[in-house]
A = this chain, B = another copy of it.
Amino acid sequence: MYRNFAIVPRIIFGRGSLNQLGDVLKEKRVTDGGYMVFVIDDVFTDKPLEGRLPMEGKDLLLRVNVADEPKTTYIDALVAQIRAYSDVTPDGIIGLGGGSTLDIAKAVSLMLNNPGSSADYQGWDIIQNRAVYHVAVPTIAGTGAEISRTAILTGPDKKLGINSDYTLFDQIMLDPDLLAGVPKEQWFYTGMDCYIHDVESLNGTFINQFSKSYGEKSIDLCREVFLGENDSAQGDKLMMASYFGGMSIAYSQVGACHALSYGLSYVLGTHHGIGCCITFDYLDEIYPAGVKEFRQMMDKHEISLPRNLTKGMDDASLDLMVTTALNLVPLWENCLGSDWKNIMTRERTLELFKRM
């Protein structure tokens, strides 16, 4: 059985395409007295981007803070805030930001049409009702959140996405101009999220020619961006690398690095991009060629990673880290095959975390 793979059905790509957002939303403003909700990373508070949003009438600007990765409690609070703002369900949710902001936009658009807490839906295909129309406008590239069928959340007892076809955005707007101004470290860590997706997908057991074609082109684009000469198309390339990387894993899976980094994030709150980089640097045995190339990229861009994150950590916390990582069964199956439990034992996982 092959997955009947759902894809975001509408894309606008191009520099300055943000200027078309108003036109795109116009035909989605269907409810009398309705409104749109712009979910925007609060780093843009009072910045020019906010002034460019095509807000009308009762539209709501919802600044979100992603200093911490999105929590289910935060999603529930944002949904409550929208419901308190109006009895009417909004005509659309527009997410503007990086992976965390886009995941918030996805989760909010799902929860407006589904009862209970977002924590109830962490897992695969639990969501019952389709989401409110939702649009992604990435302002940083690499996560693949614009194309993935998951909204990754930290819940009361796990870090796990709301994975469903309904999670997918209805529209993506890829405007490479929006990448200008991203700080170098964040640019690098987020770009590496994409590079690592590609390595995990291409070296996984789930790979097929569909995922391979996307993954190979994505990793080529990453190499052009992170190892090639600086050229004016860098932003365009990184946006396409991110999209292709997302397309590659959507039909296959990520692997060991993402699984372990989830453990790190869940216990320590480490951000996803940097968490992946920290983890990947210890995975020579699993991804030898990928890790070697990753270190070349770090050298070229003079990136130094934090060390000794787990030093002095108590056993219970380390144990929780291991459990969180090993709970991500599909990721390990993709990475190591059906016999993964005998290869990535709790002991080996613990030893890896202790080195980080």
Instruction: Give the B-binding residues of A (Cβ under 8 A).
Output: 1-14, 17, 20, 24, 171, 174, 176, 208-210, 213, 216-217, 221, 233, 236-237, 239-240, 244, 251
Contact of A233 among B8, B174, B209 (CB under 8 A): B209
Copies of this protein, total = 2
Instruction: Find chain B residues with CB under 8 A from A209 CB.
Output: 13, 176, 233, 236-237, 239-240
Closest chain-B Cβ to A321's Cβ sits at a distance in Å of 36
Instruction: Find chain B residues with CB under 8 A from A210 CB.
Output: 11, 13, 174, 240
Complex-state Cα separation, A52 to B2, whole angstroms: 17
Instruction: Find chain B residues with CB under 8 A from A13 CB.
Output: 2, 5, 208-210, 251
Contact, CB under 8 Å: A20 / B4: yes
Chain B residue with the shortest CB-CB distance to A238 = B209
Complex-state Cα separation, A233 to B213, whole angstroms: 12
Complex-state Cα separation, A210 to B236, whole angstroms: 8
Complex-state Cα separation, A6 to B13, whole angstroms: 12
Instruction: Find chain B residues with CB under 8 A from A1 CB.
Output: 20
* Besides the known contacts A4-B10, A13-B251, 8 further A-B residue pairs in the complex with CB atoms under 8 A apart: A2-B12, A4-B24, A5-B10, A5-B13, A13-B210, A210-B240, A213-B217, A213-B244
Complex-state Cα separation, A181 to B2, whole angstroms: 23
| Interchain residue pairs A-B with the least CB separation, the first 4 | A209-B236, A2-B14, A9-B9, A13-B210
Contact of A9 among B6, B216, B233 (CB under 8 A): B6
Contact, CB under 8 Å: A10 / B20: no
Closest chain-B Cβ to A92's Cβ sits at a distance in Å of 15
Chain B residue with the shortest CB-CB distance to A1 = B20
Chain B residue with the shortest CB-CB distance to A175 = B2
Contact, CB under 8 Å: B5 / A11: yes
Instruction: Find chain B residues with CB under 8 A from A20 CB.
Output: 1-2, 4
Instruction: Find chain B residues with CB under 8 A from A213 CB.
Output: 217, 221, 237, 240, 244
Chain B residue with the shortest CB-CB distance to A174 = B210
Contact, CB under 8 Å: B7 / A10: yes
What are 14 contact pairs spanning A and B, CB under 8 A?
Answer: A2-B14, A3-B12, A4-B11, A5-B13, A6-B9, A13-B210, A13-B251, A14-B208, A176-B209, A209-B240, A210-B240, A213-B237, A213-B244, A217-B217
Instruction: Find chain B residues with CB under 8 A from A221 CB.
Output: 213
Instruction: Find chain B residues with CB under 8 A from A216 CB.
Output: 217
Complex-state Cα separation, A7 to B244, whole angstroms: 14
Name which of A6, A17, A209 has the most chain B CB atoms within 10 A of its CB. Answer: A209
Contact, CB under 8 Å: B208 / A236: yes
Instruction: Find chain B residues with CB under 8 A from A208 CB.
Output: 13-14, 236
Complex-state Cα separation, A209 to B244, whole angstroms: 12
Closest chain-B Cβ to A249's Cβ sits at a distance in Å of 14
Instruction: Find chain B residues with CB under 8 A from A171 CB.
Output: 4
Chain B residue with the shortest CB-CB distance to A217 = B217
Instruction: Find chain B residues with CB under 8 A from A239 CB.
Output: 209
Instruction: Find chain B residues with CB under 8 A from A9 CB.
Output: 6-9
Instruction: Find chain B residues with CB under 8 A from A11 CB.
Output: 4-5, 7, 210
